Chain A
Amino acid sequence: MENTILKAEMLSKTYSNGSIMQHVLKNLNIDIKAGDFTVIMGSSGSGKSTLLYALSGMDKPTLGKIDFKGEEISKYSNDRLAVFRRKHCGFVFQQIYLNETMSVLDNIIISGLLVSRDKKAIAARAKELLHQVGMTEVCYQKYPSQLSGGEAQRVAIVRALINAPEIVFADEPTGALNSTNAINVLDVMTEVNASGQSIIMVTHDIKTARRANRILYLKDGVIIDELKLGSYVKDDPKRHKILREFLERMGW
């Protein structure tokens, strides 16, 4: 196994309500390799987000284990998990959750301060990352309300990247954006991935999924199939066709 950073074995998640048990994830086995851009697809209620949260340590699985670089994080206590998440995971959500009372730069720095004390270094990295995602210096002191949806999501991506996480978890990051902004954000994510960043993303959107090099299709809590696409090449009609055929086969 080359560079497996995240590995789930017989992962199950059950929500119980009295005597009624709902098995959302059933005996899943997943390997995530370093540098992968993995997309999890599936219809609503198939367990996509639950899987993402379980893998990222935001939620604990009911059964099974999750190894992160050989450490069994599924056994961690909640506090230890929180520390683990800060250090090793970045999160991008559909809702952007920037702190409205802080400037863009501060929003990013405060996340950095959770891990490191070196504010100067953090600020420098934040600026570098902001530059990388195409945000100019003018934006640094803007407040989230002054940003467009796409800009805000790019800031959120920078925030997710500030601690140099091993994996970025993204839950429908383009779900609330218009198509121009969505493409913008996706370009940023593709670029970040090309520089070696592992990404696990949940999406409903075929255009978003096209960016991944690996697609897992989830149905009723089971991965029924996966598609390996290779690295993203812009405007490759063949790629889109393969993906579409795969999804049609899955009953998308």
Chain B
Amino acid sequence: MKIKRLIIIFTLLLVASYTVLFYYINATHINSVDVTQINRVVKTIEKDWANGDTEKTGANGGMAYQITLVTDENYQSLLFEGIRNRHTIMDLTSVSADGQAEVLGKVIFLTDGSEEEMMKNNLLTMITVVFLMVLIMVDVVLGMVHFSILRPFGIMKQFAQKIADGDLEFRLPMDRGNYFGAFTESFDLMREELRKARQGEYEANISKKELVAELSHDIKTPVATIKAICELLKVKLGGVKFDAQAGEAAETTIAESMEKIAVIHSKADVIDALISNLFHATLEELEMLKVNVSEQPSTVIIQMFKEMDNFGKIRFKNDLAECLISCDPLRLGQVIDNIISNSDKYAGTDIDIWFDLDQTEKYLKVKIRDDGDGVNPDEWPLVCEKFFRGSGEAVQNTPGSGLGLYLARQFMEGMGGSIRCYNEGGFVVELRIKVV
């Protein structure tokens, strides 16, 4: 392990520096005063003194000295100064003629303090080095702890957050050299499994919806057959001729049958409408209602209206400006289909169409208006919402799913355009189609 090795290296370094320090301090011996030498010097001075040719300060044998006589005025102060400075102080004596030794003064040996000074400096350096080493070691160890423990924890926290947010694509980076390597690996495995499970769920959902879409499509065929047979029966029964023998009884039976057939027919209609909605809703959930935008001449819009104009109710109020628009003809056709059939269903009046080309904003406005009751103003913003149905009488009395305008908006937005609904003497749907 890195950290272990580092700690060992640092410990060894510390021990080594301690040893060096110990031996250094231990080996530093404080010089004891060389008594013989001092004595010799004092004797020389005394001899010289007797001869009378000695200065008051001087040096002998490498030792500086100062002489102060008892008779001197500053004798006391020099003496105390010497004591304070830990100088070596000897008596200066002279032997008088009668053999009596008499103290003349003191010889003060001026030893300097350089040794102590040096020792102090060396100690300071040593302590500084050791202190710095300890500091670096602490910092490095803390850094290692941060990088190898705290940070991986942080990443793991982030990872957990992402997983919680449902982002299962976020991989947890793994470092095998780390204590957490194995840990992180298992976390990542967990994520992988979660992702797989979710993917499986998603696919199962899709296939379920596809099944619904297929089934609803398949059911439409027999329903259409039922409707066709109902119509056929109505025609056939309506044409039955009664002879006198069959009488009234037969006539009533036939009338009853006609009624029942009408019920079957209307119920089949309801089933048909419901299945259509189911089909569209499922397709929409499957996101299969893709919009493929291409550049088309604006004249295709006229074509679409004409194809929808089964009852001759559509009136163009002005000319369409020719230009290139960007749209998906199939989807734009569905949008127009939905709007026109809504008008047919709920208003049943004539439908007026206006075109307006806005060259600065670069869109083509198509305004489609019927003469019906319109929609409650509170509900204008809602009419394009999924499954929303207006509260008006006409809407409530007509079957529908609330998907038509929702899909219309989806398609228009997919084509880079927009849709807006409001009342203006009838219900108005305004399409804005992007111009190339």
A interface list, Cβ under 8 A from B = 10, 12, 14, 21, 23, 26-27, 29, 62-65, 222
* Other-chain residue from A26, A29, A62 in contact with B436 (beta carbon distance below 8 A): A26
* Other-chain residue from B294, B324, B359 in contact with A12 (beta carbon distance below 8 A): B324
Alpha-carbon separation in the docked complex, A156 to B298 (Å) = 40
Alpha-carbon separation in the docked complex, A98 to B325 (Å) = 42
| Interface pair A63/B359, CB less than 8 Å apart | no
Sampled A-B contacts (18; CB under 8 Å): A10-B324, A12-B322, A12-B323, A12-B324, A21-B295, A21-B296, A23-B295, A26-B295, A26-B436, A27-B323, A27-B324, A27-B435, A29-B359, A63-B297, A63-B299, A63-B323, A64-B323, A65-B322
Taking CB as reference atom, which chain B residue is nearest A25?
A: B324
Is the C-beta of B357 less than 8 angstroms from some C-beta in chain A? yes
Alpha-carbon separation in the docked complex, A12 to B359 (Å) = 14
Query: Which residues of B, 369-421, contact A by the 8 Å Cβ criterion?
Result: none
Residues of A within 8 Å of B297, CB to CB, are 12, 14, 62-63
| Interface pair A23/B322, CB less than 8 Å apart | no
Is the C-beta of B321 less than 8 angstroms from some C-beta in chain A? yes
* Other-chain residue from B295, B296, B299, B322 in contact with A10 (beta carbon distance below 8 A): B322
Residues of A within 8 Å of B357, CB to CB, are 10
Residues of A within 8 Å of B324, CB to CB, are 10, 12, 14, 23, 26-27, 63
Taking CB as reference atom, which chain B residue is nearest A65?
A: B322
Query: Which residues of B, 335-361, contact A by the 8 Å Cβ criterion?
Result: 357, 359
A69 to chain B, nearest CB (A): 21
Taking CB as reference atom, which chain A residue is nearest B362?
A: A27
Taking CB as reference atom, which chain A residue is nearest B296?
A: A21
A175 to chain B, nearest CB (A): 30
Taking CB as reference atom, which chain A residue is nearest B435?
A: A27
Alpha-carbon separation in the docked complex, A17 to B335 (Å) = 27
* Residues of B in contact, count (CB < 8 Å): 14
Taking CB as reference atom, which chain B residue is nearest A64?
A: B322
B144 to chain A, nearest CB (A): 55
The tally of CB-CB contacts under 8 A between chains A and B is: 37
Alpha-carbon separation in the docked complex, A167 to B435 (Å) = 30
Alpha-carbon separation in the docked complex, A14 to B323 (Å) = 11
Binary A-proximity of B304-332 (CB < 8 A = 1, otherwise 0)? 00000000000000000111100000000
Residues of B within 8 Å of A64, CB to CB, are 322-323
Binary A-proximity of B422-436 (CB < 8 A = 1, otherwise 0)? 000000000000011
* Other-chain residue from A63, A65, A222 in contact with B298 (beta carbon distance below 8 A): A63
Residues of A within 8 Å of B295, CB to CB, are 21, 23, 26
Query: Which residues of B, 228-283, contact A by the 8 Å Cβ criterion?
Result: none
Residues of B within 8 Å of A12, CB to CB, are 297, 322-324
Most buried by A among B323, B324, B357: B324
- Given known contacts A10-B321, A12-B322, what 13 new A-B pairs fall within 8 Å (CB)? A10-B322, A10-B357, A12-B324, A14-B297, A21-B294, A21-B295, A26-B324, A26-B436, A29-B359, A63-B297, A63-B323, A64-B323, A222-B436
Most buried by A among B295, B298, B321, B357: B295
| Interface pair B322/A63, CB less than 8 Å apart | yes
Alpha-carbon separation in the docked complex, A141 to B46 (Å) = 150
Taking CB as reference atom, which chain B residue is nearest A14?
A: B297
Alpha-carbon separation in the docked complex, A10 to B363 (Å) = 12
Alpha-carbon separation in the docked complex, A23 to B295 (Å) = 8
Most buried by A among B296, B298, B322, B436: B322
Residues of B within 8 Å of A23, CB to CB, are 295, 324, 436
Q: Which 7 pairs between the two chains have the least Cβ-Cβ distance?
A: A63-B322, A10-B323, A12-B324, A26-B436, A23-B295, A26-B324, A27-B323
Alpha-carbon separation in the docked complex, A226 to B215 (Å) = 58
A8 to chain B, nearest CB (A): 12
Residues of A within 8 Å of B322, CB to CB, are 10, 12, 63-65
Alpha-carbon separation in the docked complex, A27 to B296 (Å) = 11
Binary A-proximity of B279-297 (CB < 8 A = 1, otherwise 0)? 0000000000000001111
B227 to chain A, nearest CB (A): 35
Alpha-carbon separation in the docked complex, A26 to B296 (Å) = 10
Alpha-carbon separation in the docked complex, A246 to B242 (Å) = 92
Alpha-carbon separation in the docked complex, A21 to B300 (Å) = 13
Alpha-carbon separation in the docked complex, A63 to B357 (Å) = 14
A232 to chain B, nearest CB (A): 32
